[in-house]
Structure 1
Amino acid sequence: MHDPLAKDPIAEVRRNWERHGWESAAAPAAAVTAIMRTQQILLGRAQEILKPFKLTFARYEVLSLLSFSRENRMPMNKASKLLQVHPTSITNAVDRLESAGLVQRQPHESDRRAMLLVLTPEGTQVAERATKALNEQLFESTGFEEAEIEDLNAILARFRRRAGDFAD
Structure 2
Amino acid sequence: MPKRPDLAVDPIEEVRRQWRERAWPAADEVLTVGSIMRVQQILLRRLEDTLKPYDLTFARFEALLLLLFSQHGSLPLGKMGERLLVHSTSVTSTVDRLERQGYVQRVAHPTDRRVILAQITELGRTTALEATEKVGADHFGLPGWSRADLASLSGLLRRIREENADFVEGRRDAESS
TM-score strictly above 0.5: yes
The CA deviation at 1:6 is: 2.7
Separation in 1, partners of 2:141, 2:43: 13
CA RMSD in angstroms, aligned pairs only:
1.4
Amino-acid identity (%): 44
Give the letter aligned to residue 13 of structure 1.
Answer: V
Moved more, 101-110 or 6-15: 6-15
CA distance in 2, matches of 1:140, 1:92: 26
Q: Deviations over 1:22-69 (max 9, x none)?
A: 1x3100011110000000000000111111100100000000111111
1:148 lines up with 2:149 in the alignment: yes
Residue 112, structure 1, aligned to residue 113, structure 2: yes
**Distance in 2 (alpha carbons) for counterparts of 1:57 and 1:31:** 24
Aligned to 1:54: 55
Aligned to 1:98: 99
Alignment of 1:156-167 (within 5 A): 156-167=157-168
Q: 1:14 aligns with which of 13, 16, 38?
A: 16
TM-score, normalisation: structure 2: 0.89
Q: Is the 8 A contact 1:46 1:138 kept in 2?
A: no
More off after superposition, 3-12 vs 145-154: 3-12
Cα distance between partner residues in 1 of 2:96 and 2:87: 14
Deviation at 1:157, TM superposition (A): 1.4
Unaligned runs of 5+ in 2: 170-177
Instruction: Give the secondary-structure state (helix, strand or coil) at the position aligned to 2:118.
Output: strand
Q: Which residue of 2 aligns with 1:80?
A: 81
The alpha-carbon distance between structure 1 residues 110 and 90, as it changes in their structure 2 partners (threshold 3 A), is same
CA distance in structure 1 between the aligned counterparts of 2:105 and 2:32, rounded to whole angstroms: 41
Amino acid at match of 1:10: I
- Mapped to 1, the partners of 2:9 and 2:146 lie a distance apart of 23
1:63 alignment counterpart? 64
1:20–1:142: structure 2 CA closer, same or farther, 3 Å change rule?
Answer: farther
SS at match of 1:150: helix
Equivalent in the alignment of 1:26: 27
1:148 CA displacement: 1.9
Structure 1 pair 107–88 and aligned structure 2 pair: CA distance change class (3 A)? same
- Tell me, in whole angstroms, the C-alpha distance in 2 between the residues paired with 1:153 and 1:134: 18
Aligned length in residues: 167
Contact conserved, 1:45 with 1:138, CA < 8 A, in 2? no
